[in-house]
Chains A and B, each alone.
Chain A
Amino acid sequence: MAGTPIIVADAVSKKFGDHQVLTRVTLPVMERDVVCVVGPSGSGKTTLLRCLALLETPSEGRVVMQGTAISTPGQEKPVKAAARAVRSDIGMVFQHFNLWPHMTVLENLIEAPIRVKKLPKDQAVAIAERLLAKVDLSEKRDAYPARLSGGQQQRVAIARALAMSPKVLLFDEATSALDPELRREVLLVMRQLAQEGMTMLVVTHEMNFARHVGTRTAFMDRGEIVEEAPGAAFFDAPKTERAQRFLQQFEE
């Protein structure tokens, strides 16, 4: 794991009013890494992800992308400019999909490439069609999101994020809002991406995914990273008591 990380949370703290959500969290994500962040709800996983997605500003610390600070508490001018430059290199998949309901599946996919990357429409459409085939939804090209199942919507959302060819893809509990039988199809797509070498940071409750697909697992509790271990090691031999107790819940 040599070289510069793609994206790093560097001693990031986040406070909402008096409530300390993150305390000096440091988490580098290397190229082709699939870092899974697990932990009880309210442990700050989502806030950490939102800081990396530039949806929240850290109260302390900074977010660094390939050596350049892109988010700091002061949001100074050069930092903001750097953030704008790498904005679409950071993709995000949300728990509630957040597809735009007034646009068809295809329109959802080509909107950002056309408006942000200024791609010609036919090129954007070609990319979108290729990605839809990849998530196995070619036949839904002209459907509106409301006509799709949750699992299908989330696969479209993944394709939409991929359409900007991001360098890192953040998943915020991407399967939590789905019925168990719909989770599989989304997890399969995520697994396929991981195998293709996509750099991913995955906040999840899917322990099997973290164990078998993740290259590293970070365990968070009360706003801190308590334990971090490569791949399955975290699950086979959790070191801290907190992690052991957390993992026990999944054993029954």
Chain B
Amino acid sequence: MFKYQFRWDTVWGSFDFLMSGLQMTLVISAITLVLAMVLGLVIALMDMSRFAPLRWIGVSIGEVIRNTPILVQLLWVYYVLPIVFSVRIESLTALVIGLSLYQAAFISEVYRSGIQGVPKGHREAAQVLGLTPTQSFFRIVLPQAVRMTLPPLASNFVQLIKFSSLGAVISVSEITRRGMELSATNFRPLETFTFIAVVYFLICWPLAMGIRWWERRLQAR
């Protein structure tokens, strides 16, 4: 192998700089998850609506988002939305909007299977007892669906942490972007990007393992 003089000190020297990027990454992921959960529910409800135009819109949004690359969507939100609506969109806002929409499209599917997974009899019992369809949905169906969807939602959070690195392309100063900036000044891409990969792994791997354990426990009940 080639002779390489490791200079990890260039990374340690900028540890705080990189960690502030990590903080940004986690904040973005958390905000986006919350927004995506709400948006996803809206899309799922539209998908299942009895009102055909609403259903059509919901399904279309989902299909378009699921079948175009997330990077193109982010670029579209960042560069095209400002032209269409003649507003200035901060890169951070663009990233949060783009990621939320993208995740919402997937989360809506999670909700839908969760909602359709609630046995019909549970709704009939509610109906016979006189609960309105709205009461039945919010009191009987949704709480059960949410419980079934918690592990998949947590998996989405892991995905979001990784996808938020795409923010680097539109210069959102999350950890990947910080890494790019650092390696441009210390000329040490090997150390810098290896360190960043390890940071992602150390966060995502335990989360993923925890979710797997959680899923097994829920199934065992």
Contact = CB atoms under 8 A, between A and B. Distances in A.
Contacts of B129: 88, 91, 111-112, 116, 160-161, 164
A101 interface: yes
B130 A98 contact: no
A112 B147 CA distance: 22
A7 B121 CA distance: 23
A8 interface: no
B130 to A, nearest CB: 4
A99 B123 CA distance: 10
28 contacts: A53-B128, A54-B127, A54-B128, A55-B124, A55-B127, A87-B130, A88-B130, A91-B129, A94-B121, A94-B125, A96-B119, A98-B124, A99-B125, A100-B122, A100-B125, A100-B126, A101-B144, A102-B144, A111-B139, A112-B126, A112-B129, A115-B131, A116-B131, A157-B125, A160-B125, A160-B129, A161-B129, A164-B129
Interface string B99-134: 000000000000000000001011011111111000
Contacts of B131: 111-112, 115-116
Contacts of B147: 102
- List 4 A-B pairs, minimum CB-CB distance, nearest first: A112-B129, A88-B130, A116-B130, A98-B121
A96 B121 contact: yes
Nearest to A53: B128
A53 B122 CA distance: 15
| Secondary structure call for the B interface | helix
Given A88-B129, A98-B125, 8 more contacts: A100-B125, A100-B126, A100-B144, A111-B139, A115-B135, A160-B129, A161-B129, A164-B129
Interface residues of A, number: 25
A30 interface: no
Contacts of A98: 119, 121-122, 124-125
Interface string A64-95: 00000000000000000000000110111010
Given A87-B130, A146-B221, A102 B125 contact: no
Q: For chain B, which range describes its interface: under 10, 10 to 19, 20 to 34, or 35 or more residues?
A: 10 to 19
Contacts of B140: 100
Interface in B20-70: none
Interface of A: 53-55, 87-88, 90-92, 94, 96, 98-102, 111-112, 115-117, 146, 157, 160-161, 164
Contacts, number: 57
B128 A91 contact: yes
B143 interface: yes
Nearest to B119: A98
B128 A90 contact: yes
Contacts of B143: 102
A102 B148 CA distance: 11
Contacts of A161: 128-129
B68 to A, nearest CB: 37
Nearest to B124: A55
Contacts of B122: 98, 100
A92 B129 CA distance: 8
Contacts of A90: 128
A99 B128 CA distance: 13
A55 B129 CA distance: 11
A71 to B, nearest CB: 13
